[in-house]
A and B are shown apart, each in its own frame.
Chain A
Amino acid sequence: MTNIKVIGVVIGTLLFYTLIANAIPQVQSEVPEALTFVGAVTPEQLVTAGEDLYQGAGGCTACHGLGTRAPNLATDEAGAGTIGARCGTRVPGEDCKTYLHNALITPNAHVVAGYEPIMPDMSRTLSATQIWALVAYLQSLGGEVTVRSEDVAAAQTEAAQAGATGGAAAGAGAAFAGGSLDPHELLSAGGCFACHKLGAEGGPIGPPFDGMGARITAERIRRGILAPNADTAQGYAAVAGTMPQTFGEQMNAAQLEAVVSFLASLEEGM
């Protein structure tokens, strides 16, 4: 009996700790998604990819936005506006794009007054393409996006010549659907037709793809793919939360935009 009591106390204590640790919010540290753009990348694609990095694997929100460790970027900072609005005047002689790029790879060159030089050199953890995507996103926060596909192409060429160390996992995103940019192939590869109807194809569980462009905007479609639980389509509350949240990680930015553009173009049933 004593042995059973001892085992009970040990197992009970272990179960208690395990349950508590499983009851709190579960946050996994994701690996930064490699970015591979096929052809000419649009500013919108870069902004989307940059936002994904900013909110997730880039780790930016651990400091920016708290108001104590680092300047606010997405919200006003000391009356100077968001980062996109103020970046062009931050360092004399540097335009917004140059300043933001330098701030990411040589962060201690111009530390904002009142803050400690704690920003890491992001080129040690992100690829050159990812850094340009971040620059584009930060520019979009109140300013004009001036990052162009030429910047990205030059960075990718440079990285390829240097052995692409920063983007060691480059190409991983292209593995989805064999790197295809055909929206129908992408939707098939993602298993979307198991729930969504497109013409004669697909099931009735989720909102139909038919006429989706007439019902919601491209931005809303993009958000629905990247963060399926952010909104619930009218009439589908019963199946809310069932859509996988991994498509944003499986597809690269170009594939994502191809799907978004395709769905946004579906204004009538097929």
Chain B
Amino acid sequence: MIEDRRTLNVVGVAAALLAAAALAEPALAQEAAAGAVREYGDFPGIGGRGAVWIAAQVHLMFAAFVLGVPMFAVVMEAIGVANGDEKYDRLAKEFTRLLLIAYSATAIWGAVLVFFLTTLYPRFWTHLAEIFEVSMWIYAGLFVFESFTLYLYYYGWDRWKPKPAKYGHLVLGVLLNVWGTAVMFIADSWLSYMMSPPAAVTPDTAPGTVQLWSAIANATWMPINIHRIIANVVFGGAVAAAYAAFRFLHAKTAEERAHYDWMGYIGNFIAISALLILPFAGYWLGREIYEYNQSMGITMMGGFMSWLWIIQAFLIGVLFLAANYYLWVGLGRIPGGERFVPYTKWMLIVLVLGVIVWATPHTMIVSRDELTAMGGIYHPFLGALGVMSAKNTAVNLMILTTFLSFLMYRRANKDLVVSWAGTGTFAQGALLGFAAVIVLFFGIYGYFVDPIVRIGFSVYMVLAVLAAIVAVTVIDVLISRGADSRGAIRWGSMPERSQYALFVLTVTFTWLMGLMGFARSGIRQHWHIWEVMRDTSEWAATPALGYAARMISLCVLIFLGMAAFIFWLGGLVEKPALVAKAAPHPAPRPAEPPELSPALGD
């Protein structure tokens, strides 16, 4: 009955969305006919901008979660089908259950956003709707497809478990991702058009004359699509890890603790793995922004937003520290893990130094007094650390260090038996060391060359790190074949403090998402649509970081509060079933080695 109500709720919200879109235009048309089109509405207390900010941000957070989770849920299910291990299938279903109960919230906040836009920014919404109306209809249609595919996927899980029906179920999972990705691509076209409308569009261009495809395929559309796909996986993994941590802390039985310990580990692994490739997508997006409009790029990196990147560096530093801490504490539950513990203090030093260098300001907007005090545009000492050479070096060394933590974790309870174990391990160390030397070499050499040459060095650094990671992983897979186990991982024996690291990770990921959303949206400054439609409201000025931070924290609090509430509600219904199912499979196999990822087993 409860499930039926959920279904009805989501369908109801979807209908509301369609109704909103359908009602908005006639209402606006009537106003236009009367010659009294209102430009802006007002919202009590926080103003129109604040209302839309909250609705858009919270909607995006839920949307990122419901788009990211299906990606790794279906991969988990496929692994379970391939190796016949029930625990992967059970984990995939639990991930999907989180998805189901978060879906209603996504739709509700989407409807709130549409209503706010139509009532608070009618002129802008009319403009956007005139260009994108066809894509908005398609969006609504895909949303319905996505909803019902999700219901089939989740509620048909047990019914279609036996093969060959299971293959059909897997196809449903893939379809769910296809619909979700298509929905996101369409929504991305609207927001990226606001940032980078086609060059031919000017303030005098009638919106009805803008070609739909040229508006969709604008300069930043695809970079944002790719960036969001990866970021959604990061976010989904992080929120799932926090959910697992919460359930771990409240677990009543050893089986539950073991299950949620493992789930938390998987969530963290997914989040951090995807995070490591996210900067490359971010780099592409940044480059496209610069190529589209240098002024916008400079505003983003060196203008009034320059301090934002220092905050970003600090937040990512927290992510690196918390993720590594979680792994280091996890060594304690692996027999043999104690061998690697002494190394962690040195790794901590590298990480902390890396964060300090990365968070060092370089080109900032400064006052005349500050300029005089520094004796130039750069700080006499910190200026040397604030340049890209130092920052790239720091980031790449931090990535290598984090990878080393994963490697230690994977190797912890293994005694290698292959004849070339010593040589292989030496080669792994040499590869990582060589990558570090390359990074340091180009980092130092970068101080002695022109900026245009220095920028190119970052490619060599990244390639060296990626090549080392791939090669070391391949060696590790081969070298671990047939390895003796020092004992099974004691899933469920993680100290409670490690779970709080997962909460810090999730809060930080969520906050970072809000911060980057502010950066992407804020670089338009006082333009609704860059250099096409000016924001003439009282909220046109782009706020300083302090105000933005308060709004972001509020959005994160709303999101996490709602997520906790609906997960708790879901737990009331599903918990008995989970525990009952858990009994025959109390924990992952005792002899399971501490793989880099159980999902990517040897």
- Give the interface of A toward B (CB within 8 A): 2, 5-6, 9-11, 13-15, 17-18, 20-22, 24-32, 59, 61-63, 65-69, 116, 118-120, 124-125, 163, 165-166, 168-169
Of all chain A residues, the one with the shortest Cβ separation from B533 is A168
Q: A10 to B546, Cβ gap below 8 A?
A: no
- Cross-chain contact of A125 among B246, B315, B531, B549 (Cβ < 8 A): B531
Contact A168 B311 (CB under 8 A): no
How far, in angstroms, from A10 to B249 measured CA to CA in the complex? 15
Residues from 507 to 533 in B contacting A, C-beta threshold 8 Å: 507-508, 511, 522, 525-526, 531
Stretch at the interface among B130-138, B139-147, B206-214, B296-304: B296-304
B541–A28 touching, CB < 8 Å:
yes
Closest 6 CB pairs of A and B: A21-B549, A118-B294, A120-B295, A26-B544, A29-B542, A22-B546
Known contacts A18-B553, A28-B304, A28-B543, A66 near B293 by CB under 8 Å: no
B541-A2 in contact (CB<8A) = no
Please tell me if B582 contacts chain A, counting CB pairs below 8 Å: no
With a cutoff of 8 Å between Cβ atoms, the chain A residues found around residue B548 in the complex are: 21
Contact A169–B534 (Cβ < 8 Å) = yes
Residues of B within 8 A of A32 (CB): 526
User: Is A118 within 8 A of B298, CB to CB?
Assistant: yes
B533-555 near A? 1/0 per residue, CB < 8 Å: 01110001111111011101100
**A10 partner, pick from B204, B250, B310, B560, beta carbons under 8 A:** B560
Set of chain A residues within 8 Å of B535, measured between Cβ atoms: 31
Task: Give the interface SS of chain A, mostly helix, strand, loop or mixed.
Answer: loop
Residues in A with CB closer than 8 Å to B553 are 14-15, 17-18
A13 touches B507 (CB 8 A): yes
- Please determine whether B500 and A9 come into contact, CB atoms closer than 8 angstroms: yes
Given contact pairs A9-B504, A21-B548, A29-B542, A14 touches B511 in the complex (Cβ within 8 A): yes
Q: Is the CB of B295 within 8 A of A6?
A: no
| A-B pair number, CB within 8 angstroms | 126
Is the CB–CB distance between B503 and A17 below 8 Å? no
- CB contacts (< 8 Å) of B293 on chain A: these are 120
Q: Is the CB of B503 within 8 A of A59?
A: no
Give the residue of A18, A27, A66, A166 whose beta carbon is less than 8 angstroms from that of B544: A27
Which chain B positions have C-beta within 8 A of A30?
541
Q: Restricting to B200-243, which residues have a CB under 8 Å from any CB of A?
A: 203-204
Q: A14 — which chain B residues lie within 8 A by C-beta?
A: 507, 511, 553, 556-557
- Whether the Cβ atoms of A66 and B314 lie closer than 8 Å is no
A163 touches B550 (CB 8 A): no
Q: Is the Cβ of B544 less than 8 Å from the Cβ of A31?
A: no
Look across to chain B and name the residue whose beta carbon is closest to the beta carbon of A17: B511
Is B422 an interface residue when CB atoms closer than 8 A count as contact?
A: no
Interface membership of B365, Cβ < 8 A = yes
Q: Min CB distance, B39 to chain A, in Å?
A: 11
* Cross-chain contact A13 with B504 (CB below 8 angstroms): yes
How many angstroms between the C-alpha atoms of A25 and B560 in the bound complex?
29
Q: How far is the CA of A119 from the CA of B296 in the complex (A)?
A: 11
Question: In the assembly, what is the distance between CA of A65 and CA of B298, in Å?
Answer: 14
Complex interface residues of chain B between 264 and 309 (CB less than 8 A to chain A): 293-295, 298-299, 302-304, 307
Contact string, B308-322, partner A, CB cutoff 8 A, digits 1/0? 001100110000000
Contacting residues, chain A, for B550 (C-beta < 8 A) = 18, 22
Docked Cα-Cα span, A66 to B545, in Å, equals 23
Is the Cβ of A120 less than 8 Å from the Cβ of B541?
no
| Alpha-carbon gap, A165 to B534, bound state (A) | 9
B47 within 8 A of A: no
Q: How far is the CB of B66 from chain A (nearest CB, A)?
A: 21
Residues of the B chain whose Cβ atoms lie less than 8 Å from the Cβ of A116: 294
Docked complex Cα distance between A42 and B463 (Å) = 59
27 contacts between A and B (CB under 8 A): A2-B249, A9-B503, A10-B560, A13-B504, A17-B311, A17-B315, A17-B552, A22-B545, A22-B546, A22-B549, A22-B550, A24-B311, A25-B365, A27-B544, A29-B304, A29-B525, A29-B526, A31-B526, A61-B365, A62-B299, A63-B298, A66-B377, A67-B377, A118-B295, A118-B298, A125-B295, A163-B204
A245 to B369, CA, bound (A): 17
In Å, the complex CA distance between A11 and B315 comes to 16
Beta-carbon contact of A59 and B249 below 8 Å: no
B507 touches A10 (CB 8 A): yes
Determine the chain A residues whose CB is within 8 A of the CB of B168 once the complex forms: none
In the bound assembly, the distance between CA atoms of A20 and B504 in angstroms comes to 16
How far does the Cβ of B387 sit from chain A's closest Cβ, in whole Å?
Answer: 11
Task: Flag if A59 contacts B303 (CB, 8 Å).
Answer: yes
Note all chain B residues with C-beta closer than 8 A to A63.
298, 302
Docked complex: B490-512 residues within 8 A CB-CB of A: 500, 503-504, 507-508, 511
Contacts of B508 in A (CB 8 A): 13, 17
Q: What chain A residues lie within 8 Å of B126 (beta carbons)?
A: none
* Interface residue B590 (Cβ < 8 Å from any Cβ of A): no
Contact A29–B522 (Cβ < 8 Å) = yes
Q: Which residue of B lies closest to A26 (CB)?
A: B544
Closest Cβ–Cβ distance, residue A108 to chain B (whole Å): 10
Which residues of B in the span 408-457 have a Cβ within 8 Å of any Cβ on A? 451
Contact assessment for A68 and B451 in the assembled complex, using a CB-CB cutoff below 8 Å: yes
Q: Besides A17-B311, A27-B365, A163-B204, 17 other CB < 8 A contacts?
A: A2-B249, A6-B249, A6-B503, A10-B503, A13-B503, A14-B507, A14-B556, A17-B508, A22-B550, A26-B545, A29-B299, A29-B304, A29-B526, A31-B525, A59-B298, A62-B303, A165-B204
Contacts of A6 in B (CB 8 A): 246, 249, 500, 503
Q: Is B473 an interface residue (CB 8 A)?
A: no
Chain B: minimal CB distance from A25 (Å): 6
| Residue in B204, B295, B541, B544 whose CB lies within 8 Å of A59 | B295
Report yes or no: A20 in contact with B294, Cβ–Cβ below 8 A.
Answer: no
Q: Report A-chain residues with C-beta under 8 Å of the C-beta of B9.
A: none
> Quick check: is B363 within 8 A (CB to CB) of the other chain?
yes
- The interface centre, meaning the residue of A14, A15, A28, A30 with most chain B CB atoms within 10 A of its CB, is A14
A5: chain B residues within 8 A (beta carbon): 500
Q: Which residue of B lies closest to A25 (CB)?
A: B307
Closest B residue to A10 using CB positions: B507
Chain B residue contacts of A62, Cβ below 8 A = 298-299, 302-303, 365
Residues in B neighbouring A10, C-beta threshold 8 A: 503, 507, 560
Across the interface, which residues of B come within 8 angstroms of A9, CB to CB?
Answer: 500, 503-504, 507
Bound-state Cα–Cα, A214 to B541, Å? 38
Give chain B interface residues in 354-406, CB to chain A under 8 Å.
Answer: 363-365, 377
How far in angstroms is the closest Cβ of chain B from A117? 8
Residues of B within 8 A of A119 (CB): 294-295
Nearest A-chain residue to B506, judged by Cβ: A10
Q: List residues of B (459-487) whose CB comes within 8 Å of A's CBs.
A: none
Q: Which residues of B contact A25 (CB under 8 A)?
A: 307, 364-365
- Distance to closest chain B CB from A6 (angstroms): 6
Assembly CA distance A29 to B308 (angstroms): 13
Q: How far is the CB of B282 from chain A (nearest CB, A)?
A: 20
Nearest chain-A residue to B511 (Cβ)?
A17
A contact residues around B249 at 8 Å (CB): 2, 6
CB atoms of A27 and B204 under 8 A apart: no
| Contact partners of B310 in chain A: CB under 8 A | 24
Nearest A-chain residue to B303, judged by Cβ: A62
Could you tell me if A28 and B542 are in contact, using CB atoms closer than 8 angstroms? yes
